[in-house]
Amino acid sequence: MGFTNEKVTDYISSHYTPLDEQLGSFREYNEENNVPLILRETESFLSLLLELTHPRRILEIGTAYGYSALFFARKVPDAVVTTIDRNPHMIPVASSYFEDWEEGSRIDFRTGDAEQVLDEMISERKSSSQNMLPFDFIFIDAGKSHYRDFFDRAEQLAAPGALIVCDNILMHGWTVDRSYEGARRHRTNVKYMRQFIEYISRREDLTVSLLSSGDGLAVIRLHE
């Protein structure tokens, strides 16, 4: 749940429709077991973005149990999805889902520290022996204090005009108001998130839209 009025959140969620029955059941399983995943209203917004942009190559930083990677692959049937995670408890679960679902054949699951994996991918792209195409849609939903590091690397892997969407930028409202319950425990994350938002907002070569939808989204378009 986001930090906005609970009645508003419940009203918006009541109009949520899963992409299909299988994804809907998978969402319910994740929610019931408190597994991190994109909020319902965030998914609805991403669904519209994907429909408008129809990306061919999607990069996700932060896999968890693989819900959003499978959502991306199912929403855009001809897209290839690369997703990255380092959590040793999440990796085997996500891997099993990718093996079981048909869309898993279009998901490149890379494991390890995201910054290191991204650096390896950048090296792959620069290598004359590799033919790695750039990504035209990138979704960042991992360690909140590392968004600037993720973004800087993602930019090097992105196509001109690509969209980069960063989730949870408001962090339950802590980014805006440190008096929210729990903010003190996450002050380092808050500090770095605020710095990241200031950074992307100052850059004249980016088109940036900050949204309060869900737990906050930064939608960034790279100039061509």
- For residue range 118-150, list pLDDT tens digits in order: 999 999 888 865 567 899 999 999 999 999 999
pLDDT at 101: 97
Instruction: Please write the tens of the pLDDT for every residue from 106-121.
Output: 999 999 999 999 999 9
The domain spans of the chain are 6-222
pLDDT band at 66 (very low <50, low <70, confident <90, very high): very high
What class has domain 6-222? Answer: alpha beta
Contact 220, 204 (CB under 8 A): no
What type of residue is 14? S
Instruction: Please write the tens of the pLDDT for every residue from 15-40.
Output: 888 899 999 999 999 999 999 999 99
Neighbours of 28 (CB within 10 A): 11
| pTM for the structure as a whole | 0.92
Give the chain's radius of gyration (CA, Å).
17
> In the structure encoding, which two tokens stand for residue 92, read together?
């085997």
Report d(CA 126, CA 15) in Å as an integer.
Answer: 45
> In the structure encoding, which two tokens stand for residue 83, read together?
């997703």
